[in-house]
Amino acid sequence: MKRLLSLIIGLLAVCGLLAYTSQSLEKSSGSTGSKVLNLYNWGDYIDPNLLTKFQKETGYHVNVETFDSNEAMYTKINQGGTHYDLAVPSEYMVSKMKRAHLLQPLDKSRLTGWGNFDQQFLNQPFDRGNRYSMPYFWGTLGIVYNDKMVKASEVQHWDDLWSPKFRDKIMLIDSARDIMGMSLVTLHKSMNTTDPQTLLAAEKRLNTLAPNVKAVVADEIKMYMIQDEAPLAVDWSGEAAEMLAGNSHLHYVVPREGSNLWFDNLVIPKTAQHYNAIYAFLNFMSEPKNAAQNAEYIGYATPNKKAKALLPKSVRDDQEFYPDQKTIDHLQVYRDLAPNIVELYNDRYLEFKMHH
């Protein structure tokens, strides 16, 4: 009997420990409690000092979970069972999440910093009226070049990359939409075209670039360029900023004839729970001083015009990352295309990669 009693007591103790552990894990993930904010973000995509400051000012603790692609973020939220209060999708993914009814609209009456944003970065095609999204960072697609091997005058336009002098010297970011888009611009076509024949022409144009392509790579493109492994690369401005920080001989240019304008945005998933924390955080990040601090830490371009004014002159006047208005006017935001059209882009791009 004593042995049975001891066994029962032991089982109860184990159950209690498991319950406590489960509760602790749940709290550590930020899914419970009223003084928390659950942020689902790209890795290292916010100044940690700002999170500390936010907690001190408001009392809300920010639990951060990270993802490495828009698709991974979408899948996790779409599967359910999460309680993220804010997520940070790119522009095309905002459209997709809206269609899937995964987002809640913003309550503009609770946003105190909306007037700080540059109007040209609001009301974009992926979210007219910014009903669901608040811009976080923006950037472009462009050319990175090493001044030890290439003169600035030699790479001001996309067409320059086709020069025979750059045989086996160019690294391309492995992105169907972007590399196809670059080719479409050289053909004076929209980066959002849905015409199969135009996409075929873009693939054929890329095939003529193949002799100049040293490699088609992903994240490692940054390391290769920093280590002088290639004189040229096509990549996003955000990654270019990291390259330039690691090698003083690297520079970034956005071709004036046109390129992509991308946005990362703050949105509220449908399963969000902590609304006071959400709006406190959105207002906190919209404050010019905080947005400027975040932009300096990340190295990306801020859509907050009052924050930009607080940045060092060398940063806000840097046309590599804050291009002039004439260049911005020629930039194109990717539209969320129908699945069959996306498949066409991918197919044409894969044909090019096989050709290369």
Q: Summarize the annotated binding site as residue ranges.
A: 92
Q: Are 158 and 257 in contact (CB under 8 A)?
A: yes
Q: How far is CA 213 from CA 13, 173, 216, 237, in A?
A: 64, 11, 7, 20
Q: Quote the CA–CA distance of 70 and 92 in Å, as a whole number.
A: 9
**Residue in 102, 53, 58, 50 with CA at minimum distance from that of residue 76:** 102
Q: Are 221 and 173 in contact (CB under 8 A)?
A: yes
DSSP 335: P
Q: Quote the CA–CA distance of 276 and 308 in Å, as a whole number.
A: 27
Q: Which residues are annotated as a binding site for spermidine?
A: 92
Structure tokens at 313: 């002159």
Q: Are 252 and 301 in contact (CB under 8 A)?
A: no
Q: Quote the CA–CA distance of 37 and 80 in Å, as a whole number.
A: 18
Q: Is 80 left (phi over 0), alpha (psi -120 to 50) or beta?
A: left
Measure the CA angle with vertex 34, ends 33 and 39; round to 5°.
80
- Secondary structure (DSSP) of 61-104: EEEEEEESSHHHHHHHHHH-----SEE--BHHHHHHHHHTT-EE
Structure tokens at 191: 């980066």
Type of residue at 134: M
Residue 18 neighbours by CB distance under 10 Å: 10
